Structure 1
Amino acid sequence: MTEPSTAAGAPGQNVASAKAPHGGPSVDHLRFHRRHAHLAPTFGTDRFALRAEAFARFFGTPLFLGAQTVVVAMWIAINVLGLVHFDLYPFILLNLAFSLQAAYAAPLILLAQTRQAARDKSHAEADAQHREALAVANEQRQSIAAHNTTQVLELLQQNTLLTAQTRELTERIEALTVEIHQRFVGRATQP
């Protein structure tokens, strides 16, 4: 199995230092899953494990079932028709072959199921951690939004107060202008 690729592209690249298109640091969306990457190959990464995994996967394919059916049908037909007499009825050698196959298949399948259960559990834990991180980030965003809303309301109140003060000062200036105008006009008309 190949090494899992990172969100930034190349395997092993430090994703935390990569930049997102908008200029901020990118988020490695698989960061909770990376610690469980060693569970990806079912039987490990050595040569025997990879062959055992391939063999266990082959047991469940239609090709295997079809090939086994053909081999068993030929085995029985050859022995019943008398072409060769190496395993006469009740086919003890065939039963022995099935027992041998089951002896190897069962542990491989159980091992695969156990490892798959461990992998599923680790992925579920990683998903839960990811959901928790998303919930915390969402709460932080909501807190910031509430703080910003409070600041906007305060700024609107200050703007309203400043507008009222500006109106009051404008009215006072207008009144003073009228009063000064009347004094100057009144002196100019007096002899």
Structure 2
Amino acid sequence: MPRERLDQPRELKRSFRPHYDPEDFGRLSERIARFLGTARFIVYMTVFVLCWVLWNILAPDGLRFDPYPFIFLTLMLSLQASYAAPLILLAQNRQADRDRIQSEQDRQAREAGQAELEFITREIAGLRIAVGEIATRDFIRSEFQQVKAPQ
């Protein structure tokens, strides 16, 4: 077995598995999940099911979709649900990852803000101590008056 060189990229191995970009697929799943969670999707599905039911009840026997149209409708809705559930879960996982990263960034910003606030507080305390040791105008006047008064 030849040694792999770390300074060169690996050669792509041929595979029969389809290649896809997980990030693109994740974005697509989020778009689908967002659509599935809208009132528009519910209206579309309701209209579709009503049309299906009405067509298969009111249409002549030769024009109906098949002899057991409601079993086929159930199959189509089950198939739609079997794809929708994993796509929604994938979108939720991606959102949870984003929330976790945002939470970590917020925590770091909060810690930096706290450290800065503590630094400023120490600086203000130091300034107050320094100002307390400075002779004020009133103190100097009172000292001059005490020096002038004995004469």
Task: Find the structure with the greater CA-based Rg.
Answer: 1
How far does residue 162 in structure 1 lie from its aligned partner after superposition?
A: 8.2
How far does residue 170 in structure 1 lie from its aligned partner after superposition?
A: 4.2
Tell whether 2:84 aligns with 1:105.
yes
Tell whether 2:58 aligns with 1:77.
no
Q: Which residue of 2 aligns with 1:55?
A: 32
How far does residue 49 in structure 1 lie from its aligned partner after superposition?
A: 3.9
Residues 146-157 of structure 1 mapped to structure 2, 5 A cutoff: 146-156=125-135
Supply the AA of the counterpart residue of 1:116.
Q
TM-score (norm 2): 0.71
Unaligned runs of 5+ in 1: 1-42, 176-191
Q: Give the RMSD, CA atoms, in angstroms.
A: 2.5
How far does residue 90 in structure 1 lie from its aligned partner after superposition?
A: 6.4
Q: Which residue of 1 aligns with 2:5?
A: none
Q: Which has the higher contact order (CA 8 A, sep 6+)?
A: 2
CA contact (8 A) 1:79 1:88 kept: no
Identity of aligned residues (%): 41
Q: Which residue of 2 aligns with 1:64?
A: 41
Runs of 4+ in 1 over 6 A off after TM superposition: none
How far does residue 123 in structure 1 lie from its aligned partner after superposition?
A: 1.3
Supply the AA of the counterpart residue of 2:112.
A
CA contact (8 A) 1:79 1:85 kept: yes
How far does residue 112 in structure 1 lie from its aligned partner after superposition?
A: 0.8
Compared CA separation, residues 140 and 158, structure 1 to 2 (3 A): farther
Tell me, in whole angstroms, the C-alpha distance in 1 between the residues paired with 2:146 and 2:55: 113
Supply the AA of the counterpart residue of 1:102.
A
Compared CA separation, residues 70 and 94, structure 1 to 2 (3 A): same
Q: Which residue of 1 aligns with 2:16?
A: none
CA contact (8 A) 1:87 1:94 kept: no
Residues 162-181 of structure 1 mapped to structure 2, 5 A cutoff: 164=143, 166-170=144-148, 175=151
Tell me, in whole angstroms, the C-alpha distance in 1 between the residues paired with 2:122 and 2:30: 49
Residues 1-191 of structure 1 mapped to structure 2, 5 A cutoff: 44=23, 46=24, 48-83=25-60, 84-89=63-68, 91-156=70-135, 160=139, 164=143, 166-170=144-148, 175=151
Unaligned runs of 5+ in 2: 1-21
Tell me, in whole angstroms, the C-alpha distance in 1 between the residues paired with 2:103 and 2:27: 25
My pick for the range that moved more, 93-102 or 83-92, is 83-92
How far does residue 51 in structure 1 lie from its aligned partner after superposition?
A: 3.1
